[in-house]
Chains A and B, each alone.
Chain A
Amino acid sequence: MRRTTSRLLPRTVTLSALVITATLALAANANSSATQPLSGLFRVAVGSYFRMIYPGGGKYFKNPYSADANKTYTFIYAGTDGGLRTGVLQPAPTPAFDHHGNSLAGRIIRPTDFAGINFGLATKGSAPVISVSGDRLSGQVKGFTAEWNNLSFGQGGQVTGSYNAQTHVYVLTWSSPISGGPFNGFTGSWHLTGTFVS
């Protein structure tokens, strides 16, 4: 009896260790694919851009002041905050525009020439919330607004994208239809890329 017990004990210990190890590994794996909020700064780097699609789709607005050969792409560059912050608002200053209608909202991006007048970005009302699950990003930027020509265009929406946890490189994209005002029926298409800093 004692002999049997002494023989079984190492096996039991080994089996238990295996079960514990497997459980921990599964838990760790589950944890890595669970949705986790990313609170911090999505730096806006080279490769970020904005496009505007005409009502009905299929045709993009040409911005003659775009630096790209394809004028339907308007590149955007980091503003004074370095990019888009989650969890906090980045409102436009007061006043929000100069006397030509150029936006002075320069925290997220550097105000950029669009058809002869600079546009800037701000977040109002609802702070961005972005989460990561594995290598996928999701969330909302409901309060995201584009400021141009003394006007404020709601450009919020549900964002999707990718994230590399090792390099912190991200890509965020979303589209937002413009409702009301001079660009009613147009759709803004946003593509932000860079690194995330918590």
Chain B
Amino acid sequence: MLGLALVLMPFAFQMFGRAPQGANMIAGFRPYMTTARLSGYQTELREIDAGVKEGGSKVSAALSGPPTEADQRRFAASFPDFVAFEHQWTGIYPDMSRMLATIRLNLGNYEAVAALPNFTLFPWFFVAPGAVLLGVLALGLLQPAWWRVSRRALVALGLGLVLAPAVFQMFSRAPAGGRMMTAFKTIETRARVERIQGYFGDMAVGQGAVQLELVPALRRSGLSPAEVATRYPALTTFDRQWSHILNDMTPMIGAMSDNVANYRAVAALPPFALFPWFFVAPGLLVIGSATAVGGPGRARRVLDARLSEIPSSLVKGAK
């Protein structure tokens, strides 16, 4: 029963389809799940934020006078795309910052999961011991002379199952993976990805307004490019860094989008925290059964008793 259960469990949980999707997700996130990369994104967001704030304050004052209500209206009328983006940014920045902070907080959890054996192998961790268990049991029953060896093999197999989670540090890594999955629940969704895609469109329009409207207006006011850069460093940085920001952020949005389905597949697996126990529990049962059953005669009697409950036509081959 136990051997069959181990063999069948991956099929029951659709692990052969879902586990490789988990492997794809881990691989897909890998380029972005580094402290350097995540810090880079946070720096880029701060650069945009500083540029937007400078645009809405110092630049606005320079182009439309002091920040009276009338001047602000004049600025908004002259630079509608920038002002619209300035407004949108008040929602984009905290949302993106929170998302990046969440991802960064889970860097350790990601690393723990990534350090586990490749997800693609996971179903085989159940099928292989199950098949070995069934094989050894069959060998011991059909060849009584091998029973003692078979029992020892079963105990070894059980020990292997019990120790495997410890060897792979599953007791710490699997719950870490569970925490990451929980944290990413609100990030790896189609709706969230589409929202980020929308932000991207808003940011593109905002940067365009800086480069095509604000900076030319500053130039028309008599400032040279060097003077614009010196007086408005944050706006200039946002503008100059834009292609780098695009180079950097676009693939991350792509990875988020491409892994929505993979995340769903992994989330549909049993909770990560239970994974070590899927090894330990069968392992203990195998050890317990192998030591409790006793010699081949008793095992054979137990088997015969079970077989006698089945119609004789079906068990002819087994006997």
Binding site for B on A (CB under 8 A): 54-56, 61-65, 71, 100-101, 115-117, 149-151, 180-186
B198 interfacial contact with A, CB 8 Å: yes
B 244-285 contacts with A by CB, 8 A: 244, 246-247, 250-251, 253-254, 257-258
21 contacts between A and B (CB under 8 A): A54-B194, A54-B197, A54-B201, A62-B204, A64-B204, A64-B209, A65-B212, A115-B204, A116-B246, A117-B243, A149-B246, A149-B250, A150-B251, A151-B250, A180-B258, A182-B197, A182-B200, A182-B250, A182-B254, A185-B194, A186-B197
Chain B residues with CB below 8 A from A71, complex form: 205
Of all chain A residues, the one with the shortest Cβ separation from B191 is A55
User: Is B23 part of the binding interface, using a Cβ–Cβ cutoff of 8 Å?
Assistant: no
- How far does the alpha carbon of A116 sit from the alpha carbon of B48 in the complex, in Å? 15
Docked-complex contact B201 and A182, CB < 8 angstroms: no
Q: Is the CB of B254 within 8 A of A151?
A: yes
Chain B residue with minimal CB distance to A148?
A: B250
Q: How far is the CA of A186 from the CA of B194 in the complex (A)?
A: 10
Q: Which residues of A contact B247 (CB under 8 A)?
A: 100-101, 149-150
Q: Which 8 A-B pairs have the closest CB atoms?
A: A64-B208, A115-B204, A182-B254, A182-B253, A181-B254, A184-B257, A100-B243, A182-B250
**Complex alpha-carbon distance, A56 and B242, angstroms:** 27
Partner of A101, one of B190, B201, B243: B243
Cβ of A183 and Cβ of B243 under 8 Å apart?
A: no
Chain B contact-residue range equals 20 to 34
Asked if B208 and A65 make an inter-chain contact with CB atoms under 8 angstroms apart, the answer reads yes
The CA of A5 and the CA of B191, in the complex, are separated in Å by: 88
A54 touches B209 (CB 8 A): no
Chain A facing B: main interface SS: loop
Cβ B253 vs Cβ A64 within 8 A: no
Footprint of A on B, CB under 8 Å? 81, 190, 193-194, 197-198, 200-201, 204-205, 207-209, 211-212, 242-244, 246-247, 250-251, 253-254, 257-258
Asked whether A184 lies within 8 Å of B193 as measured between CB atoms, the reply is yes
Report the separation of the CA atoms of residues A149 and B209 in the bound assembly, to the nearest whole angstrom.
Answer: 20
Q: Are B246 and A185 in contact (CB under 8 A)?
A: no
Q: Which residue of B lies closest to A115 (CB)?
A: B204
Q: A119 CA to B250 CA in the complex, in Å?
A: 14
Chain A residue at minimum C-beta to C-beta distance from B244: A100
- Return A131 CB to nearest CB of chain B, in Å: 36
Cβ contacts under 8 Å, B198 to chain A: 54
A-chain residues with CB within 8 Å of residue B251 when the two chains form the complex? 150-151, 182
A61 and B201 contacting across the interface, CB-CB below 8 Å? yes
Q: Which residues on the A side are within 8 Å of B246 (C-beta)? A: 101, 115-117, 149
Contact for A64 among B193, B212, B257, CB less than 8 A: B212
Instruction: Return chain A residues, CB-CB under 8 Å to B81.
Output: 64
Residues of B within 8 A of A65 (CB): 208, 212
A181 → B minimal CB distance (Å)? 4
| Interfacial chain A residues near B244, Cβ < 8 Å | 100
Residues of B within 8 A of A54 (CB): 194, 197-198, 201
- Contact indicator B205/A64 (Cβ below 8 Å): yes
